[in-house]
A and B are shown apart, each in its own frame.
Chain A
Amino acid sequence: MLNPYRVLDLTTERGLLCGQILADLGADVIKVEPPGGSPARRLAPFYQDVPDPNRSIYWWAYNRNKRSITLNLETDEGRELLYRLAASSHFLIESDNPGHLATRRLGYSDLAACNRELIYVSITPFGQDGPKATYADSDLVILAAGGPLLLGGDEDRPPLRVSVPQAYLHASADAATGALVAHHERVRSGLGQHVDVSAQQSVTIATQANNLAYRLHADEARRMAGGVKLGSLRVPLVWRAKDGYVTLGFLFGRQLGMFSQRLMNYLHELGICDAATRDKDWIAYGALLLSGKEPMAEYERVVGLIAEFAANRTKAELLSAALERGLLIAPITTMDEVLQSPQLQSRQYWQLLEHPELGRSFPYPGPFARFSAAPIAYRRRPPLVGEHNRELYVSELGLTEGTFADFARRGVI
């Protein structure tokens, strides 16, 4: 869908997903790596646990559909090559600390001077300017600074993150959105601009607007093991099943109460609860509890019945009950179960990419959306370090074989 466009992807281990999204959509994304390879290639896990720049699974995850060239931006000749590439590119994505590229004459204004249509996307921990712009960062630190970290985990332990780093994925997705908004405007104005993404600000979305509580004078949600605390009400969301765990929503109110009603109807049919329990006012139940009209002990009793219902059934049994009866139950799925998911298989989600140098193919998560006119295609496995140097420098940029060999020998490329 974005086939006419070329993207220079200078991102470090932060921000790789942005270029991959554009590449999935068909853009020609060129990963520009320092000689020896991107620092992202040094991140675990590694295929068969062999640390090697071409075996980093983290690298594989976010560089499909890209081409790779190596280029030493610390040299004048390297920068000259980048200017030449930028002159014919539509987007440039980078994720160095603010000012890092500008001090190397590769900042937005430097590149806008050689291509005023260029959209220059910067993904940084905290943004281009501001009092924390130079702060040192990590996934965990950004999640702490943006608000979501405090809301996750068990109340008797420290706040908890998802074990797969998330912050720069949120930022990268925002960056791709920003790039395409700027592109839409460029079609009209003929001008590029600078898209400034702060990972701290991007992860604020994962607080579900809870960050607003202070300014709105509202209660804040608090973390709780496998659920959430709303005032004095503990809302469990993780329940034990026979063979693992499920999430189950036992919730109240005008729209959610009907799901609890369906659940209680089912429990009554199964003989787990009596008619009086089934016939409680599940719409008003939350309000009744908070006002004290319904004792908390009674709520705990019903929660106990639901726990018994879940614990005696497998995840698959609970899921099929949810599908049949419209209940808010979902299995807590492990990675191997995700790979075997009948739903994903029926949609032919997994895309096999062959890594010929390893003699193996791996199933990659498939298209992030299905487009009827221009479907996403997985055209290339993640590139080896500098795999497309010759193709790009000689065939496309027109360097002579002699210059190419000379640049390679002197570590420019």
Chain B
Amino acid sequence: MLPLDDVKVVDFMWALAGPGTTRTLADYGATVVRIESANRVDGARTVGPFLDNKPAHDGSGLFGTYNAGKLGLALDLNKPQARGVVLDLVRWADVVCESFSPKAMRAWRLDYESLREVKPDLIMLSSCLMGQTGPMSKFIGFGNMAAAVAGFYHLCGWPDRPPSGPFGAYTDYIAPRFGAISVLAALDYRRRTGQGQYIDQSQAESALHFLTPALLECAANARIEQGIGNADPNYAPHGVYPALGDDRWIAITCKTDQQWRSLCTVMDRGNLASHQAFATLAMRHQNRDQLDHIISEWTRGLTAHDAEVLLQQSGIPASAVQDSNDVSHDPQLAARRYLAEIEHPVCGKTVVEGPRFLLSRTPAMIARPAPSVGGDNQHVVETILGYDQDRISELVAAGVLG
């Protein structure tokens, strides 16, 4: 038995920040019915990487990863009869999750106040960029934009250049965890009190918890942090150095003076260890350019993986800066089954990311690949909702079921 196999979820989420939440619930056994419009498919289906580099709605590795384990129901929510189907699903469910902009669910009369009329102890999670209220509640867009507004861009860059920003829709990597945590805590609360509730998640507000030291530094010390390259106030050396090959790099950190001395030995530059200019963290910070130059001279002659092994053998924190090929062959990630092969009914054998954490006694399971648009229509309306054939034909004829 999987931990959450008694949990039933109706999932109106799309893109990444929302579906990441329900993917975790599905990994651990929740039944997740994902509602998607056949007229306007989830944008994540149009973003790569694509299987065999061919853009296709079922071939997106991004969509495939965020939606593995879920059932797919295609509903045209703009048709009046769709509402009845949704309400039947809500009666069946424990949790409703949605990640539209704030007005959408109200427009369909599927907001929390409406839904709790049919399901008084419902738990509902609404997740959007800036939250359900406030002057920016109607701010639309993607996680890269919430990341800019939250301050991640300004904190990722070189001091002599415009901000670089982290890769992709950064707040979409953070919000799903807080979404799943919120739902799980609310389920426990409901079990003990009988009470459901509404959860308003601002993805930006969740993500700010990943910047708390910089926010407090600004509030308490009136100091505005910005991107400082790969430097770190607590450690030196601390950087990314060139290795043999095209765009190959090795990341190295010395957390202690001992690790610095070990690095000198590994580089066969033992004399540096006693050099006044690098003796303490403060000195190494002061002479960082010179330090980085010396280390680069050494790393340049080695492959990133050889350097990693040499350094780690001496207890120095180091890793090759891994690309997709490296990660696919990383024995550590393989030992944790990070990448999972799965058979997709439309595109055949494909690969998704596995569950990101491991439970010893009740491990996760990827029960099925991400659904095609409406791939589980029949199962959902017949088995879960118990509709008879006449009702189903009616819904199909009316264009409600895509």
Contact = CB atoms under 8 A, between A and B. Distances in A.
Nearest to A227: B165
Contact of B49 (A137, A183, A218): A218
Interface string A196-213: 111011101111111111
A209 B138 CA distance: 28
B148 A330 contact: yes
Contacts of B316: 136
A140 to B, nearest CB: 5
Given A127-B358, A194-B361, A255-B40, 13 more contacts: A58-B213, A127-B335, A136-B317, A140-B232, A174-B357, A184-B7, A185-B362, A196-B360, A204-B338, A218-B49, A343-B136, A363-B215, A372-B197
B241 interface: yes
Interface string A1-23: 11010000000000001000100
Interface in B314-365: 315-325, 327-328, 330-333, 335-336, 338-339, 350-353, 356-362
A376 B296 CA distance: 48
Contact of A198 (B137, B241, B336): B336
B146 interface: yes
A11 B189 CA distance: 26
Nearest to A62: B212
B302 interface: no
Contact of A225 (B164, B173, B174, B231): B164
B9 interface: no
Contact of A184 (B3, B139, B230, B235): B3
B217 interface: yes
A264 to B, nearest CB: 17
B265 interface: no
A181 B193 CA distance: 19
Interface of B: prevailing SS: mixed
Nearest to A136: B317
20 contacts: A17-B209, A45-B213, A131-B332, A145-B332, A147-B322, A154-B164, A160-B227, A163-B226, A163-B228, A181-B4, A182-B359, A194-B359, A195-B359, A212-B352, A218-B51, A238-B162, A335-B211, A338-B218, A341-B149, A370-B201
Interface stretch (A66-74, A242-250, A397-405): A242-250
A370 B178 CA distance: 11
Given A328-B142, A365-B215, A180 B336 contact: no
B233 to A, nearest CB: 5
A283 to B, nearest CB: 11
Nearest to A155: B247
Interface stretch (B102-110, B248-256, B383-391): B248-256
B210 interface: yes
A256 interface: yes
Nearest to A126: B332
Given A49-B221, A198-B336, A218-B48, A368 B148 contact: no
A256 B15 CA distance: 12
Contact of B210 (A148, A164, A215, A360): A164
A329 B28 CA distance: 37
Q: How large is the interface on B (under 10, 10 to 19, 20 to 34, 35 or more residues)?
A: 35 or more
A336 B134 contact: no
B140 interface: yes
B297 interface: no
A187 B1 CA distance: 13
A132 B305 CA distance: 13
A48 interface: yes
A364 interface: yes
Indicate the member of B176, B319, B330 with the most A CB atoms within 10 Å.
B319
Contacts of B377: none
Interface string A242-269: 0001110100011110000000000000
A246 B153 CA distance: 9
Contacts of B251: 138, 140-141, 143-144, 149
A36 interface: no
Identify the interface centre among A57, A170, A230, A349: most chain B CB within 10 Å of its CB: A57
A193 to B, nearest CB: 4
Given A169-B209, A204-B353, A208-B169, A238 B153 contact: yes
Contact of A216 (B173, B312, B351): B351
Contacts of B66: 209
B178 A368 contact: yes
A177 interface: yes
A332 B154 contact: yes
A131 B50 CA distance: 30
A339 B215 contact: yes
Given A143-B251, A147-B327, A223-B167, A217 B312 contact: no
A292 interface: no
Most buried by A among B151, B156, B361: B151
B163 A323 contact: no
Nearest to B205: A349
Given A140-B240, A334-B154, A206 B167 contact: yes
Contacts of B268: none
Contact of A219 (B49, B212, B353): B49
A150 interface: yes
B357 A195 contact: yes
A217 B241 CA distance: 28
